Copies of this chain bind each other. A is one copy, B any other.
Amino acid sequence: MPKGESLGEFEHLVLLAVLRLGVDAYGMRVRREIAERTGRDVTIGAVYATLERLEAKGLVKSQIGDSTAERGGRAKRSFHLTGAGVEAVNRAQESLLSMLEGIAFPVPGGGQ
């Protein structure tokens, strides 16, 4: 697997968030999801930059939703994985699993 076939870490997280959020996968929501699940307080700019790069690579697609806003609000731009995106997630998962094989978590010695 040569060139640009592998995901960065944050790309990975974002892709997973989009996957699990389904129809609700728009920028702000993705940000919240990652923050809640990983405790990582990312800025919205980081999310959009990543989302756009993923779109440029063909791993996600976006479409502007109806201006459905409850209270105030610009139309949401919602994202979903493409076939290539699904493949990328699956591949990343496999790589990680085989590196993880045989390691028991949590690894002792970190002194928490």
B6 touches A40 (CB 8 A): yes
A41 touches B112 (CB 8 A): no
B83 touches A110 (CB 8 A): yes
This chain: copies in complex: 2
The distance from the CB of A105 to the nearest CB of chain B, in whole angstroms, is 5
Interface positions of A (Cβ within 8 A of B): 1-2, 6-9, 11-13, 16-17, 19-20, 34, 37-41, 81, 83-84, 86-87, 89-90, 93-96, 98-103, 105-112
The distance from the CB of A32 to the nearest CB of chain B, in whole angstroms, is 13
Q: Which residues from B are CB-within-8-Å of A89? A: 107, 110
Contact of A100 among B16, B94, B109 (CB under 8 A): B16
